[in-house]
Structure formats: C-alpha cells, structure tokens
Structure 1
Amino acid sequence: MKKQVVLYKKLSPYLMARLQAQAEVTLIDKLDADGLAQLRAALPRAHGLLGASLKLDAGLLDLAPHLHAIASVSVGVDNYDIDYLTERRILLSNTPDVLTETTADTGFALILAAARRVVELANVVRNGQWTSNVGPAQFGTDVHGKTLGIIGMGRIGEAVAQRGHFGFGMPVIYHSQSPKPAVEQRFDAQYCSLPDLFQQADFVCLTLPLTAHTEGLIGAEQFALMRPQTIFINISRGKVVDEAAMIEALRSGQIRAAGLDVFEREPLDADSPLLRLDNVVATPHIGSATHETREAMAACAVDNLLAALAGQRPKNLVNIGAFRA
C-alpha cells in the first residue's frame, strides 16, 4: 500500500509524477482558511508532509498519529518544534546547499543596491525627476575595497565572503560560533568579536539562522556601535534584528543604509516605516527565488521525503536523533 503524503506546495509536473509514483498525494493549493481546513482533515492519515512557509506546531501535528517525515522546502527550520518532532521520531529534512549561491547573489545585490542607491535613484528617473546631472546629494558609496563584516559563517556566509574577497577586493571580517581556519586561509578573513565587527565593518551582513540564541541579536546597543557609513544587510531571518531599533538607526543617521530581504513580519506591513525610508532597499524574501533554485530545492525535498518513507535516512536530516535504522 502506498504511503499517504500531504503536499502544501505546488511541484513541477516532473516532480509531482515522481512523488505520485510512490505515494498517494493530497495537494493543498493555498494555505488560506480553506486550505488549512483541508490540511487538518488530511493529517490523520498522513505519513509524510512536504511544503514550506507553514508553522507546524504540536497543535497541528497531534492530528497526525501516523506521521513519519516532514520535508521542508527551505534551509531554515524555525517553523518546527524540533524537540517535539524528535520525541515522536518524525524525521525533519531541509534543503541546504542548493540555494547557497543564489542567496549569496541576493545578498550582494542588496549590498550594491544600497551602496549605490540604485532603487532610490532609479525611481527618480522613473518619476521623470531627472532634470540635471547627478551631484553630491545623490552620490552613493564604493563597495570595492571596503570592509565586509559577516555574521554567521556557514555556507551562505562563505559564498558572500567569496564574492566580496575575490570579486571586490574587500577585506573580510566575520563572527560565528567558532573560528573557521579554512575560511580565514581562503579569503584572508579575520575572526573577531561582535563589538569589534560592528565598529570596523563598512558592510554588516547577516547570514545566520534564527534560533533561541540569535533572536533579537541585533538591537539598539549593536546599532550604536556601528558607524555613520555602515550599510546593514539582512538575508537571514527578520527576527534576528530588533526592527524598531534598526528603523531608528536608519532615521537618525546612525547607519547609512540597509538592504533587507527579511522582516519581523512577512509580508511587510503596508504601514511599515521601512517603506518610507529612502535609505532602505527592501525585497520580498527573494533570497532563493529563481526558477532554477526553487526547482532544485523542491527536487531535494522530494528526494528527502521518499528516502524517509522508504525507511532510509534522508541526506539532509535535521533531527538526527529521530532516525532509527
């Protein structure tokens, strides 16, 4: 008998066919009120779940007594109670690696756009306000040769460092849970404390996961250590930053600008002050949003789920303690 899989993310025809060849699939098109009702109705018979951007807590998963595996189409796993899943021996897998380069591209796009005021000045042209040569009031700042500070030196942090070091001749400083000798050798990078990084970096780039330890890591105290020329980049998770403190730092000139792909609340509220600040470049969580990368992520998730349902250890298992061979 085929396993029952609940899919709350649309797949390409090829991946859907792969999944349907080995499982009975219930597809939920939208995670609106009707979709959530469909999910609740399907959970009692589900052996596997595949999707993204839905907080799966005990209140939902207690409805799924037969659940064996969840394949998240994401790198971040902050939507899951990992201790709960491990206790129930529900295998949680994610999709690292395949989005590393694309997300790093997004980070560097934000670095360049914020430094050179690309969005602000493109809107001047679009609105028909370009009536004379650009002067000092519209000048941006150089990226090449400036100090790049990276907080969180995982795969994405390394990919950002590679672009900065080799592409733009940027000195790289970083902070992570522990020094990374291989990173230091490859990029001539220097490990430093967070206060030192804030005081030295021209660009502060966040690439770390959201955990109980990192939530609210960057607040008023940290922004106060930065310099007026600092440009702040966040491609990690919005809740790593105290958004109100960041807005005040941007308004007051404590920092020069920000490039943001993530926010405390997503989608961003229509009345958010960030939308009215010219020194902010804001994108709608597009870190991995290319056709190629999203298909690769979905394929990775399908591989993970099918392996788990076959009694194998998924390649990208998050909660290793839940697996029993």
Structure 2
Amino acid sequence: MSNRIVITTDYLHSGDTVDTMLREHGLEPVYSPAKGSRTDEEKLSLFEGAAGAIAASEPVTREMLAAAPTMKIIARAGVGYDSIDLDAAVELGIRVCNTPGVNHHAVAEMALALMLSCARKLSTVFEGVTAGGWPREAGTELRGKTLGVIGYGPSGRAIAALGAALGMRVLVSTAHPDRSPGIEFADFDTTIRAADYLTLHSRAGTGEPLIGADSFAAMKSSAVLINTARGSLVDETALVQALNDGQIAGAGLDVLQREPIDESNPLLTMDNVVITSHLAGQTFEARERAGVAAAQAVIDVLDGQTPNGLVV
C-alpha cells in the first residue's frame, strides 16, 4: 500500500505537528500547497500514487479522483467539503472527512470583526489615515441592534453568544432551536426582516443561493449582510444591485462566489463593503486543531478505523 499523503493546505509544512504525526505512523507527507489555479495536467497528477490527502478548499473533481487509484481518504483541514465531488468519492471507495468544531470561535470572531468594521467604517478610516487624512465620521454602536443569525451550528452559536454579550437582540433562524439564554428563535423571513446585521452560518446548498433579490428587498435599508460561511449562499449580482439601490446599507464578506476575487468584481469599488480573503477560520489555534484532526482522520482510515468527521 502507498504511504504517500498529499497535503495541499498551504499552512501545513515539513517539520510541524502534522508532519511529525504522519511520519511517526510510517506515512510520507508530500506538500503541494494550493496557490492559484492548477493546469489540467497538474490536477490529474496531484494525487498520483497517494494513499490519502489533507486538502485545502480547492476543487477536487471526479477526474482527479479517478486518476488516483490508490487514494483511500481525503481529509479537509476545515469544515466545508462542498469542493469535493462526493458522489465520485463514494463510487471510487474514497472516504471523505472534515474537521468540525475546530474553528467556530475563529469564524464567530471574524463575523464580529466584519460587523464592527462596517459599523465604524474602519476600512474607510484606515485608508484615510494612510493617505494623510484624519477622517472623523460617526459610526454606529452594535449594542441595542438586532443580530439575525441564519444557521445555528457551532459558529452560529458562537456569534449568537457574542452578540448577546454585546447587548444585541439576537434572533436565530434554525431548524434546531434550543433554550439558549438570551437567544430568540424565529423563521427565516422574520429574521431577515428584523435584522440590523444578518450573519450567515449555514451549509452550502445545492440549489439557488439562500440570499437573493427577494431577501434583499425584505431587509431593512439600514441592514448589513455578513457572510463568513460560503460564497454560494449569496447571489452576488443581486447583492450588488441591492447595494446600488440602497436596499441594504452594506456588507462584510469573507467568502465570495469566485475566489480569489476577480479584479473586475464591482464589490471591490464599493466603500460600504468590506472584503477579506476567506480567512475567518485562519487563526494559529484553529489551524493547529484542524491540521491535527485531519491528520488523525487520515491515520484512522488507513489503519482501518472509523474517523471523526466522516462525511462519506
């Protein structure tokens, strides 16, 4: 059996904890970090001769998996796995795992950072000071505002708790309500209509975007959309139109439909939009937890054990 483990996650490297774990189990880490687009030839040869992979969020297609007959396991060093062709993995007998619960506090803190940046116009202030100015525009406080949370998994719960701690009214739309103190539960339509800040913490769907033109039309004109979950959750064309028409006041986006962002994307030119580079879960602490969990999943599958975070 092959002992090669291809690692495409760019923050994992030779000599770190994950590298040591794998080598101590007789495995050979091979590093091929995801940096921009790969050619078709590079994609097809990426997993050649590998028994497993610890993967970043770049697409893993049927063709790539079919070209890797020795592959047994792909572990995502993160929560999302929609970039992997799961049907192909099942057909080819390849296990797919993710690492739930490793970065929800990091994601919630980034959602809060985006909210604060939009509320206090921090990107405009930073640019103004750097350019030699001294901007003194008034912002708004989060306290007393309504935080709408769509999805109540680990990151949704974490941002809800942060919002409540800041004195916000927290309204959550979820199929799994509980009795969390300080949290109100409502249906989707009620939540988006009431929210001053609407933050998304749902899994990626397979159909139309969760937030589209109808949602923007229903939101407050003073509302701000926050997305640290999946770019596919938001219809970007409708978002641009809503921002241009004043249907909503702003957006804080860590994820986009296309990443890295295209330089022609009109969102880049809007002073009421804050964009970060899909790094909500990228703290040192979360990276360590994700890498170790992914490595353990690889080891477990190759040892014939059932791993944590098994998707298929």
Could you say whether these structures have the same fold, taking a TM-score greater than 0.5 normalized by the shorter chain as the test?
yes
Correspondence list, 1:177-188, <5 A: 178-181=175-178, 185-188=179-182
Within 2, Cα distance between the matches of 1:38 and 1:59? 12
Which residue of structure 1 lines up, in the alignment, with residue 107 of structure 2?
A: 103
Which residue of structure 1 lines up, in the alignment, with residue 268 of structure 2?
A: 275
Q: What SS does the corresponding residue of 1:5 show, helix, strand or coil?
A: strand
Higher helix share: 1
Correspondence list, 1:254-273, <5 A: 254-273=247-266
Q: Does structure 2 conserve the Cα–Cα contact (< 8 Å) formed by 1:26 and 1:42?
A: no
Note closer, same or farther for the CA distance 1:299–1:179 as it changes in structure 2 (3 Å cut): closer
Which residue of structure 1 lines up, in the alignment, with residue 159 of structure 2?
A: 160
Q: Does structure 2 conserve the Cα–Cα contact (< 8 Å) formed by 1:102 and 1:293?
A: yes
Note closer, same or farther for the CA distance 1:35–1:273 as it changes in structure 2 (3 Å cut): closer
| Per-residue CA distance 1:61-98 (angstroms, 9 max, x = gap) | 11122221111112001111223322333111111111
**Shift, 1:187, TM fit:** 3.3
| Per-residue CA distance 1:10-49 (angstroms, 9 max, x = gap) | 5241321221232133332455677874563463422211
Which residue of structure 1 lines up, in the alignment, with residue 143 of structure 2?
A: 144
Which residue of structure 1 lines up, in the alignment, with residue 72 of structure 2?
A: 68
Correspondence list, 1:218-297, <5 A: 218-297=211-290
Within 1, Cα distance between the matches of 2:257 and 2:36? 21
Alpha-carbon RMSD across the aligned residues, in angstroms, is 2.0
Give the number of equivalent residue pairs: 308
Which residue of structure 2 lines up, in the alignment, with residue 52 of structure 1?
A: 56
Structure 2: state its 5+ residue gaps.
none
Q: Does structure 2 conserve the Cα–Cα contact (< 8 Å) formed by 1:304 and 1:315?
A: yes
Q: What SS does the corresponding residue of 1:259 show, helix, strand or coil?
A: strand
Q: What SS does the corresponding residue of 1:173 show, helix, strand or coil?
A: strand
Q: Does structure 2 conserve the Cα–Cα contact (< 8 Å) formed by 1:172 and 1:187?
A: no
- Alignment partner of 1:116 out of 107, 116, 120: 120
Structure 1: state its 5+ residue gaps.
320-325
Note closer, same or farther for the CA distance 1:306–1:165 as it changes in structure 2 (3 Å cut): same
Q: Which amino acid aligns with 1:93?
A: C
Which residue of structure 2 lines up, in the alignment, with residue 7 of structure 1?
A: 7
Q: Which amino acid aligns with 2:195?
A: A
Within 2, Cα distance between the matches of 1:258 and 1:6? 36
User: Identity percentage over the alignment?
Assistant: 34
Q: What SS does the corresponding residue of 1:43 show, helix, strand or coil?
A: coil
Within 2, Cα distance between the matches of 1:217 and 1:238? 10
Q: Which amino acid aligns with 2:241?
A: E
Which residue of structure 2 lines up, in the alignment, with residue 304 of structure 1?
A: 297
Which residue of structure 1 lines up, in the alignment, with residue 193 of structure 2?
A: 199
Within 1, Cα distance between the matches of 2:131 and 2:162? 33
| Per-residue CA distance 1:154-212 (angstroms, 9 max, x = gap) | 1100000010012x111111112x1312xxx2233222222211211111101111121
Within 2, Cα distance between the matches of 1:155 and 1:33? 31
Which residue of structure 2 lines up, in the alignment, with residue 83 of structure 1?
A: 87
Which residue of structure 2 lines up, in the alignment, with residue 209 of structure 1?
A: 203
Q: Which amino acid aligns with 2:299?
A: L
Q: What TM-score comes out, normalization by structure 2 length?
A: 0.92
Q: What SS does the corresponding residue of 1:122 show, helix, strand or coil?
A: helix
